Amino acid sequence: MPLYEFRCRDCGSFDRSFAMAEVPAAVDCPGCAATSRRQPGGAFIRPGSAAARLIDATTRTASEPAVVGAPAARGAALTRNPLHHKLPRP
Residue 50: phi, psi to the nearest 5? Answer: -60, -40
Residue 36, Cβ density class (10 Å: 0-12 exposed, 13-18 middle, ≥19 buried) = buried
Closer CB to Zn ion, 30 or 47, in the complex = 30
| Footprint of Zn ion (CB under 5 A) | 8, 10-11, 29, 31-32, 34
Smallest distance, Zn ion to C-beta of residue 37, A: 12
Closer CB to Zn ion, 11 or 55, in the complex = 11
Which residue type sits at 81? N
Smallest distance, Zn ion to C-beta of residue 33, A: 7
